[in-house]
Structure 1
Amino acid sequence: MTPLQIDTRTAGGVTVVALAGELDLGASARADDAVRAAQADAAHPHLVLDLHALDFMDSAGLNVLITAYRRAAAAGRYLALCGLRPDTARVLDIAGLRAHFTVHDTLDAALAGAPAH
């Protein structure tokens, strides 16, 4: 088991929350807190969730993404996922949710796709 690591930074005027390790029930509250704080940043209203180092995600982790999506949609803000590993992409596909997210292969592509602030 790899504990969840969370790194929040800004890049190109966009907040990037990088999640690494395992996003499961035990870590989902920490992840949600970090994403919620990032989405509350009025100076950097757009968010990219960088998942390239995410080893595992269960339904609790999926709920973190869904909640982030709902907050972004309600506020009219950009939210993108990037760097999905095959297992993470599969979880989104099985749940039928991948089409709801803006997904990019790389962080650079996700940042390039963000609206101007």
Structure 2
Amino acid sequence: MVIEGHGFGSRERPAGFGIVVELSGEMDILAATELSGRLDEITGGRHPDVVLDVRAVTFMDCGGLSLLCRARHRAESRGGSLRLAGVAASRSVRRLLGLTGLARYFVIDEAAGLAGPLPGAAEEFPARGDAFPGLGDAYPGIGGDGDDGAAAGAAIA
């Protein structure tokens, strides 16, 4: 199924383990509203195994992040799993997961559902945050390069 809206899109494709949902464009409140029903269907079965490929996401705000969190929660509460792929390729998703500290709650698997690892992606990603204290090592642009919002976060703390 393909869903397209103003500035965003999604495309589903079966994989040997379950389903890959490729998200693209701007994942904001509008996209979350349009896509949540379909993701609820996908994660509503028994033991859903879902990969959300976010490499083509160009922008994500709290609406898009909420969409990811809801899908993860639904999949896991039904005995399934939800993995994120393409995080290394999407600066917006990578940055938001790092700034909010939510990266540790997701299984980030760059090669899941893809033909192979994305260029420049780390070869191995641990399940749930073991290597995400600052995200700087696994994800350039988060934690330490001066362009990650750390100053803003320190100002709030």
Q: Which has the larger radius of gyration?
A: 2
RMSD between aligned residues: 1.8
Residue 17 of structure 2 is aligned to residue 13 of structure 1: yes
- Within 5 Å, which residues of 2 pair with 1:1-117? 3-42=7-46, 45-84=48-87, 85-108=90-113
Amino acid at match of 1:19: L
Amino acid at match of 2:62: S
Report deviation, 1:13. 3.4
Report deviation, 1:40. 2.6
How far does the alpha carbon of each residue in 1:69-108 deviate from its partner, in whole angstroms, 9 at most, with x for none?
A: 1112211211100001122111011111100100022334
Structure 1: where are the runs of 5+ without partners? 110-117
Structure 2: where are the runs of 5+ without partners? 1-5, 115-157
Whose relative contact order is higher, 1 or 2, with alpha carbons under 8 Å and at least 6 apart? 1
CA contact 1:17–1:38 (8 Å) conserved in 2: no
Amino acid at match of 2:94: A
TM-score by length of 1: 0.82
CA contact 1:4–1:22 (8 Å) conserved in 2: yes
Q: Taking structure 1 as reference, are residues 41 and 9 closer, same or farther at Cα in structure 2, changes over 3 Å only? A: farther
Alpha-carbon distance in 2 for matches of 1:106, 1:89: 16
Percent identical among aligned pairs is 32
TM-score by length of 2: 0.62
Runs of 4+ in 1 over 4 A off after TM superposition: none
